C-alpha cells in the first residue's frame, strides 16, 4: 500500500529539519550520524582538506624562512606571495580558498607580532631600518603615532655619505637625511662649528609669506574680441596696401 501524499510531505519535512537545523539542537548520537554521513558522501571535500592541511605547514615555513627581525609591508607581501605560490602548487579542491585565508591570517600574525618595520623613506629613497617606532616632535612618525609600547627614536637607514662643509675645506660623514632640515642645515651647522664659523657669511633674504596661501588670486583667462552681428565668427586677416604701407587688421571684410 502506497502512503498518501500528506504522509510523504510530513516525512520529508522531518528529514529536512533534522539535517538542516542547528547541530546544537541535536544529541551526541545524531551528531555522530551526521558526521559519519558527511564523511562518506563528501569524499572530494575530505581529500581537499587532507591535501591542503598537508601543504599549509610547508607554505608557512617558506614564509618564515630567512625573515629579518623586522621588515616592511612590502617585504611581508613578497614573502606571502611566495607562500601562496607553494600552497597553490600542491593544494587542490573545494577547501583551497579556506586554507588560503588561513595562510594569510597566519602570516599576518607572524608579521604583527613584533616584526613590523618602519615604513618611512629617506629623501634618497632608503627605508628606515628601525622597527616600528615614533619620532619625537612628529605626529604619527614611523607609523607609531604615540602608541603604548612603541619606542621613540629618530629615523635611520644605516646609509652614510661623505660630504663637504660650506667652505669646502673639511669632509664629514653624513647620515642619510629624512627631512629637509637634516639635509640642508643640521649637517652643515655641525661642521661649521670647527671650520666655517670663523669665516664671513652673507645672509640672503628669503621669502616669508604673511598668509598661509601665498599663491595670489587666480588670473582670469584672456577674452577674445566679440564677433560682429549678423554673421558667423570671423577670422582676422591682414591686408596691405602696397610696399611701405602698414598692415591693417580686417574683421569680416570691414576695416577695423
Q: Give residue-wise pLDDT tens across range 3-59.
A: 788 888 888 888 777 766 655 556 677 777 777 777 677 788 888 999 999 999 999
Residue 116 neighbours by CB distance under 10 Å: 19
Measured CA to CA in angstroms, residue 61 lies from 48, 52, 80, 166, 217 at distances of 20, 14, 11, 53, 61
The proportion of the chain whose per-residue pLDDT surpasses 70, expressed as a percent, equals: 73
Asked if pLDDT for residue 106 goes beyond 80, the answer is yes
Average pLDDT over residues 210-220: 62
Query: Which of 61, 53, 60, 65 is CA-nearest to residue 91?
Result: 53
pLDDT confidence of 121, banded at 50, 70, 90?
very high
Query: What confidence score (pLDDT) does residue 25 get?
Result: 58
Asked if pLDDT for residue 61 goes beyond 80, the answer is yes
pLDDT confidence of 71, banded at 50, 70, 90?
very high
Per the document, the length of the chain is: 256
Asked if pLDDT for residue 185 goes beyond 50, the answer is yes
Among the ranges given (21-25, 87-91, 153-157, 162-166), the one the predictor scored with the smallest mean pLDDT:
21-25
- pLDDT, the chain, mean: 78
Query: What confidence score (pLDDT) does residue 144 get?
Result: 43
Asked if pLDDT for residue 226 goes beyond 70, the answer is no
Give the whole-angstrom CA distance, residue 167 versus residue 200: 10
Query: What confidence score (pLDDT) does residue 53 get?
Result: 94
Query: What confidence score (pLDDT) does residue 141 get?
Result: 45
Q: Give residue-wise pLDDT tens across range 138-151.
A: 665 444 445 667 88
pLDDT confidence of 206, banded at 50, 70, 90?
confident
Beta-sheet strand order (sheet of 248-251): 237-239, 248-251, 254-255
Among the ranges given (25-34, 161-170, 201-210), the one the predictor scored with the smallest mean pLDDT:
25-34
Amino acid at each position: 500500500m502506497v502512503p498518501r501524499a500528506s504522509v510523504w510531505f510530513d516525512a520529508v519535512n522531518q528529514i529536512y529539519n533534522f539535517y538542516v537545523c542547528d547541530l546544537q539542537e541535536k544529541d551526541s548520537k545524531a551528531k555522530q550520524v551526521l558526521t559519519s554521513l558527511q564523511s562518506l558522501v563528501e569524499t572530494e571535500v575530505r581529500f581537499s582538506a587532507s591535501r591542503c592541511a598537508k601543504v599549509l605547514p610547508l607554505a608557512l615555513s617558506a614564509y618564515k624562512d630567512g625573515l629579518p627581525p623586522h621588515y616592511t609591508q612590502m617585504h611581508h607581501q613578497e614573502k606571502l606571495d611566495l607562500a601562496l605560490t607553494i600552497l597553490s602548487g600542491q593544494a587542490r579542491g573545494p577547501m583551497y580558498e579556506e586554507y588560503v585565508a588561513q595562510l594569510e591570517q597566519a602570516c599576518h600574525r607572524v608579521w604583527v607580532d613584533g616584526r613590523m618595520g618602519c615604513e618611512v623613506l629617506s629623501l634618497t629613497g632608503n627605508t628606515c631600518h628601525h622597527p616600528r617606532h615614533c619620532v619625537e616632535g612628529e605626529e604619527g612618525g614611523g607609523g607609531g603615532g604615540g602608541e603604548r609600547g612603541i619606542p621613540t627614536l629618530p629615523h635611520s637607514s644605516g646609509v652614510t655619505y661623505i660630504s663637504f662643509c660650506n667652505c669646502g675645506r673639511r669632509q664629514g660623514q653624513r647620515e642619510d637625511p629624512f627631512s629637509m632640515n637634516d639635509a640642508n642645515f643640521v649637517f652643515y651647522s655641525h661642521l661649521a662649528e670647527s671650520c666655517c664659523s670663523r669665516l664671513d657669511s652673507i645672509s640672503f633674504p628669503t621669502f616669508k609669506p604673511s598668509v598661509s596661501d601665498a599663491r595670489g588670486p587666480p588670473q582670469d583667462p584672456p577674452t577674445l574680441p566679440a564677433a560682429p552681428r549678423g554673421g558667423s565668427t570671423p577670422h582676422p586677416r591682414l591686408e596691405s596696401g602696397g610696399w611701405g604701407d602698414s598692415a591693417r587688421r580686417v574683421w569680416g571684410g570691414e576695416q577695423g
